[in-house]
Amino acid sequence: MKESITLHDKTFVPYLTNEELEAAIDRLAEIINLEHQNEKEPVILLCVLNGAIMFTSELMKRLDFPIELMTIKVASYSGTRSGGHIQEVMGITGSVKGRKVIICEDIVDTGATMVYLDKRLRESGASDVKICSMLLKPEVYKQPLKLDYVAMEIPNRFIVGFGLDYDQLGRNYKDIYVLKD
């Protein structure tokens, strides 16, 4: 892990190691596998692009029931702040009608994106929708919507790495870095 990284005009310092992330994903996959051990039909893993690519990839490798991968791209962030307004940049890459769906998200803070996606999937006919997030910021999550699977809870700090970005940079780091005070 590097001592610090600079992206655009900001410096980030080490926060979570890849080993910590992988262990949290291992624990999460055990829970999901247990809940879905008797699935007959493939469950859709809906990867929320771009941030959840690394998390979804790691989670998929650990799941031992039938899955089908789909993606959707939504936007709510600009710089270091969530705008609250959700824009669907790319629609779902398949039909969810009559299907079980697990939304795979990198991080949930305000939860506006999850509320939007839950509603969108139910309106599209999904038979069941579960929300799975690598990270949750509980101090800013105020939605009534239940999160089904969360790998780790973190404080409300701005982070990059393991799929998370600052204005499109930093996703490629295997560890997670936090904005330096």
Domains in the chain, ordered, with CATH? 18-76+83-154 (3.40.50.2020)
Return the CA Rg of the chain.
16
pLDDT tens column, 100-151: 999 999 999 999 999 999 999 999 999 999 999 999 999 999 999 999 999 9
Q: Residue 87: what pLDDT? A: 85
Token duo for residue 101: 């769906």
Q: In what order do the strands lie in the sheet with 159-160?
A: 5-7, 10-16, 176-179, 159-160
Burial of 37 (0-12, 13-18, 19+ CB in 10 A): exposed
Nearest to 51 by CA among 21, 30, 72: 72
Q: Count other Cβ atoms within 10 Å, centred on residue 159.
A: 22
Give catalytic residues, as residue numbers.
Answer: 109
- pLDDT averaged over the chain? 94
Whether the full predicted model's pTM is greater than 0.85, yes or no, is: yes
Q: Which residue has the tokens 């009559």?
A: 98
* pLDDT above 60: residue 80: no
Task: Answer yes or no: are the C-beta atoms of 158 and 178 closer than 8 Å.
Answer: yes
Task: Answer yes or no: are the C-beta atoms of 134 and 21 closer than 8 Å.
Answer: yes
* pLDDT above 80: residue 75: yes
pLDDT tens column, 31-67: 999 999 999 999 999 999 999 999 999 999 999 999 9
Percent of residues, the chain, with pLDDT higher than 70: 96
Q: Residue 85: what pLDDT? A: 78
Which DSSP symbol is given to 166? B
* pLDDT above 80: residue 84: no
